């Protein structure tokens, strides 16, 4: 009988490198990578981030050099995140709205040094609030959705005036995509893209990131009243659907590897540009195992990144971006 063993032998197509290359269904390229970098306001060029070996906070001049390196490697975009001095944080995250804050200065500096690189910035208040939340609180500690959205719009406008290419609201407030789109358009920034953190889960995998931007020390409670419950999947489709309806150009699922089922569902349901964030804790796990000699670091890095493509992602935010780009270039 044809169509079954022994006429069919699945191993035949795997017998040699040329054949495996030919039948490969998915491919990872440098064009799939977005590189998140950490910024600080400092005379020092870089300081290491605890628990993320190989990742440093960069001052603005060093961030310009990182952007140059990214461009040379063919990485399409960088995504800077700020470590904001404690003295500048307050309950309302006021610093987020200021035209000359660290992020706005960095955006200008990076676009000046490397005009062709994409710059994608978070819109959320957590680096700027004294309590570490992505929104403002009332006196009982409840996050105030609509008041927060007003501040996020002004934060997005400050970034747009500074020349950002794409804003990425990561706060998970309701209605913020539509509000930010309207605010940007009214100010003549209709070309600024929105990459929505549409399905963002309340995750333990953000720990090292919160060290990097200094919010672990300050965060009161957790983010479960606005970020999604890891138990849910249908809810992710509702979140993504709303953000697309409100004007998101691209959507994101976050974290990455434990949520590949969500990436696949989102891509299948909407067919829009869909990104996954391989977050700080995922990077830390792979790096720690590699540095201990427990896993082959290069191999698992490339395997994990390819898995995002297989799940349907159009690209990946990853701290491995320069390392992976070098590996892809055979350097």
Q: Which stretch binds ligand PBG (CB under 6 A): 63-71, 108-116, 183-191, 206-214?
A: 206-214
Contact between residue 57 and residue 212 where contact means Cβ atoms under 8 Å apart = yes
Contact between residue 320 and residue 308 where contact means Cβ atoms under 8 Å apart = no
Q: Which one is catalytic: 200, 223, 267, 287?
A: 200
Nearer Cβ to ligand PBG (145/187): 145
Among 122, 211, 243, 246, binds ligand PBG (CB under 6 A): 122
Q: Which of residues 168-187 bind ligand PBG (CB under 6 A)?
A: 170-171
Q: Does 159 bind ligand PBG (CB under 6 A)?
A: no
CB of 74 to ligand PBG, least distance (A): 22
Nearer Cβ to ligand PBG (256/312): 256
Contact between residue 228 and residue 239 where contact means Cβ atoms under 8 Å apart = yes
Among 40, 84, 124, 252, binds ligand PBG (CB under 6 A): 124
CB atoms within 10 A of CB 123: 29
Contact between residue 108 and residue 66 where contact means Cβ atoms under 8 Å apart = no
Among 56, 126, 239, 246, binds ligand PBG (CB under 6 A): 126
CB of 2 to ligand PBG, least distance (A): 50
15 is catalytic: no
Characterize the bridge pairing of strands 118-123 and 46-48: unpaired
Q: Does 259 bind ligand PBG (CB under 6 A)?
A: no
The whole-angstrom separation of Cα 19 and Cα 1 is: 25
Q: Does 280 bind ligand PBG (CB under 6 A)?
A: yes
Nearer Cβ to ligand PBG (209/320): 209
The whole-angstrom separation of Cα 69 and Cα 296 is: 25
The angle formed by the CA atoms of residues 249, 250 and 254, to the nearest 5 degrees, is 150
Rounded to whole angstroms, the maximal C-alpha distance in the chain is 76
Burial of 23 (0-12, 13-18, 19+ CB in 10 A): exposed
200 is catalytic: yes
Burial of 270 (0-12, 13-18, 19+ CB in 10 A): middle
Q: Does 129 bind ligand PBG (CB under 6 A)?
A: no
The whole-angstrom separation of Cα 83 and Cα 194 is: 23
CB of 310 to ligand PBG, least distance (A): 21
Q: Does 206 bind ligand PBG (CB under 6 A)?
A: yes
Q: Which residues form the catalytic set?
A: 200, 254
- Applying CB under 6 A, which residues contact ligand PBG? 122, 124, 126, 134, 170-171, 206, 209-210, 223, 279-280
């Amino acid at each position: 009988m044809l169509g079954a063993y022994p006429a069919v032998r699945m191993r035949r197509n795997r017998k040699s490198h040329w054949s495996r290359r030919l039948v490969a269904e998915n491919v990872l390229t440098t064009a799939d990578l977005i590189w998140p970098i950490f910024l600080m306001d400092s005379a020092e060029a870089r300081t290491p981030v605890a628990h993320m070996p190989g990742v440093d906070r960069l001052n603005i001049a060093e961030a310009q050099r990182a952007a140059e390196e990214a461009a040379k490697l063919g990485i399409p975009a960088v995504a800077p995140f700020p470590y904001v001095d404690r003295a500048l944080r307050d309950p309302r995250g006021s610093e987020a709205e200021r035209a000359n804050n660290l992020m706005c200065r960095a955006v200008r500096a990076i676009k000046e040094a490397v005009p062709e690189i994409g710059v994608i910035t978070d819109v959320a208040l957590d680096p700027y609030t004294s309590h570490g939340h992505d929104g403002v609180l009332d006196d009982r500690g409840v996050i105030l959705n609509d008041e927060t959205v007003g501040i996020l719009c002004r934060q997005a406008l400050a970034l747009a005036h500074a020349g950002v290419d794409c804003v990425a609201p990561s706060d998970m407030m309701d209605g913020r995509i539509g509000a930010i789109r309207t605010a940007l358009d009214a100010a003549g920034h209709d070309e600024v893209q929105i990459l929505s953190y549409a399905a963002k889960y309340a995750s333990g995998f953000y720990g090292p990131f919160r060290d990097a931007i200094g919010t672990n020390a300050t965060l009161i409670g957790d983010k479960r009243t606005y970020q999604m419950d890891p138990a849910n999947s249908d809810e992710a489709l509702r979140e993504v659907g709303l953000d697309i309806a409100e004007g998101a150009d691209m959507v994101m699922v976050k974290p990455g590897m434990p949520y590949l089922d969500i990436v696949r569902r989102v891509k299948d349901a909407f067919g829009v540009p869909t990104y996954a964030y391989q977050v700080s804790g995922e990077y830390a796990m792979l790096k720690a195992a590699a540095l201990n000699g427990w896993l082959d670091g290069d191999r698992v890095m490339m395997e994990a990144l390819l898995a995002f493509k297989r799940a349907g992602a159009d690209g990946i935010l990853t701290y491995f971006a320069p390392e992976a780009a070098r590996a892809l270039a055979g350097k």
